[in-house]
């Protein structure tokens, strides 16, 4: 297999999920990237699964570099194993360059899973379509918003299909059986559970060219699992209708040029996840309620990016002054942040031959 493989790069954008009311439904691909450079010339006879990993960027020194521990290569091994391939091609070297901050609500884990599925597909020469690769990502990251935006690019809405009972069973297998710890299934020769076909479906919305995303990224992490753990298991009809009404308006409001700040600001309000996450993110209620398009011209709306703690402000101008205001509100709580103006990315994850 190795002889026929040429070196390649996998480039995967980050993503911001929810955009206010679209909890677990909408995602936006944005211009911070995870990049893998994959070559096949390493001669390390002891390399586990024939794969060596090097890493630079966010998470360096923290992210594991063993192929069956690292989320990217572990995901690739899952895809390969589903096709009866136990190892990478001989001499595989994966250099990871990651600019996506980990655990900040910019979809770092979704990007790692998408990159891993594409890595498995490419080194295994499996020829899976992007739609089929989505099924593999959804066996690992079980909400579709981040992974769909990252894989497909753009501003996307997605749903998970109601599966028949047999497929539901396959889909709801515990994550530990899909990506077993190294001592488990990956090394035992057992074939891991293959995903049902067509788990997720999506549609791309338009995006008005004037709208940029200001990401204000605090210097602490909130694990997505923790931020999901504070959410209730049931919602009132009133809160559900509140979000549905806004989401229906928002997906079209963000396509219109010139954008309507009043409409977008109101349509980005949420009662499903942000109110419950305020205990995890100092200054969140203050930031979400006190800045408006009237007080800050150019501002269209503000939300928590994914599970947080990053704040995403959609805006057409005055990026510095909008960011400064949010930075100062975090500073009052003793939180230091960096900020960036990000562009929506229309191309999703790509494999580029070198």
Ligand X SMILES: N[C@@H](CCO)C(=O)O
Ligand Y SMILES: Nc1ncnc2c1ncn2[C@@H]1O[C@H](COP(=O)(O)OP(=O)(O)OP(=O)(O)O)[C@@H](O)[C@H]1O
The binding site for ligand X (CB under 6 A) comprises 17-18, 23-24, 143, 145-146, 224, 227-228, 273, 306-307
Nearer to ligand X, 118 or 280 (CB): 280
Smallest gap, in angstroms, from Cβ of residue 139 to ligand Y? 15
Our CB check for ligand X shows the closer of 141 and 325 to be 141
The 3-state DSSP class for residue 11 equals: strand
Give the span between the Cα atoms of 263 and 208, in whole angstroms: 14
Interaction partner, residue 98 (ligand X, ligand Y, none; CB < 5-8 Å by kind): ligand Y
Closest CA to 21 of 250, 262, 203: 250
The nearer residue to ligand Y, 149 or 208, going by C-beta atoms, is 149
188, containing H or E segment: helix 185-188
Query: Which residue's CB is nearer to ligand X, number 143 or number 329?
Result: 143
The closest of 160, 14, 141 to 78, measured between CA atoms, is 141
Q: Minimum Å distance from CB 246 to ligand X?
A: 16
Q: Which partner in ligand Y, ligand X, none is near 145 (CB below 5 to 8 A by kind)?
A: ligand X
Least distance from ligand X to the Cβ atom of residue 61, Å: 24
Q: Which is nearer to ligand Y, 103 or 157 (CB)?
A: 103
Q: Which phi-psi region, left, alpha or beta, contains residue 189 (left: φ > 0; alpha: ψ -120 to 50)?
A: left
- The DSSP 8-state label assigned to residue 344 in this structure reads B
Q: Which residues bind ligand Y (CB under 6 A)?
A: 17, 34, 59, 63, 70-72, 96, 98, 102-110, 112, 146, 223-224, 306-307
The DSSP symbol for 261 reads: H
CA distance 115 to 137: 9
Residue sitting closest to ligand Y (CB) = 306
* Residue nearer to ligand X on the CB measure, 48 or 270: 270
Exposed / middle / buried, residue 279 (Cβ in 10 Å: 0-12, 13-18, 19+): exposed
Rounded Cα gap, residues 158 and 201, in angstroms: 6
Instruction: Name the minimum Å distance from CB 327 to ligand Y.
Output: 20
Which of ligand X, ligand Y, none binds 23 (CB below 5-8 Å, type-dependent)?
A: ligand X
């Amino acid at each position: 297999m190795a002889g026929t493989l040429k070196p390649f790069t996998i480039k995967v954008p980050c993503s911001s999920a929810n955009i206010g009311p679209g909890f677990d439904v909408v995602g936006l691909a944005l211009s911070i990237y995870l990049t893998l450079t994959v070559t096949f010339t390493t001669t390390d006879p002891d390399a586990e699964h024939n794969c060596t990993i090097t890493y630079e960027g966010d998470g360096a020194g923290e992210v594991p570099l063993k192929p069956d521990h690292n989320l990217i290569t572990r995901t690739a091994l899952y895809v390969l194993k589903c096709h009866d391939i136990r190892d990478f091609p001989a001499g595989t070297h994966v250099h990871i360059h990651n600019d996506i901050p980990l655990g900040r609500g910019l979809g770092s884990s979704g990007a790692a899973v998408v990159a891993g599925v594409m890595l498995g597909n490419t080194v295994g020469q499996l020829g899976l379509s992007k739609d089929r690769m989505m099924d593999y990502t959804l066996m690992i990251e079980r909400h579709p918003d981040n992974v769909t935006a990252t894989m497909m690019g753009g501003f996307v809405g997605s749903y998970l299909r109601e599966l028949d009972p047999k497929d539901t069973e396959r889909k709801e297998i515990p994550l530990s059986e899909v990506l077993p710890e190294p001592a488990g299934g990956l090394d035992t020769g057992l074939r891991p559970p293959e995903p049902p076909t067509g788990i997720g479906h999506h549609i791309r919305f338009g995006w008005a060219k004037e709208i940029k995303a200001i990401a204000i990224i605090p210097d602490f992490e909130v694990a997505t699992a923790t931020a999901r753990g504070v959410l209730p298991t049931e919602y009132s009809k009133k809160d559900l209708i509140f979000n549905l009404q806004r989401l229906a308006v928002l997906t079209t409001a963000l396509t219109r040029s010139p954008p309507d700040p009043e409409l977008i600001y109101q349509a980005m309000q949420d009662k499903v996840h942000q109110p419950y996450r305020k205990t995890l993110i100092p200054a969140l209620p203050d930031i979400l309620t006190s800045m408006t398009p009237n007080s800050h011209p150019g501002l269209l709306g503000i939300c928590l990016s994914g599970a947080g703690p990053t704040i995403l402000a959609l805006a057409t101008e005055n990026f510095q002054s909008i960011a400064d205001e949010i930075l100062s509100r975090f500073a009052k709580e003793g939180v230091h942040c960096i900020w960036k103006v990000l562009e929506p990315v229309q191309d999703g994850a790509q494999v580029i031959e070198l």
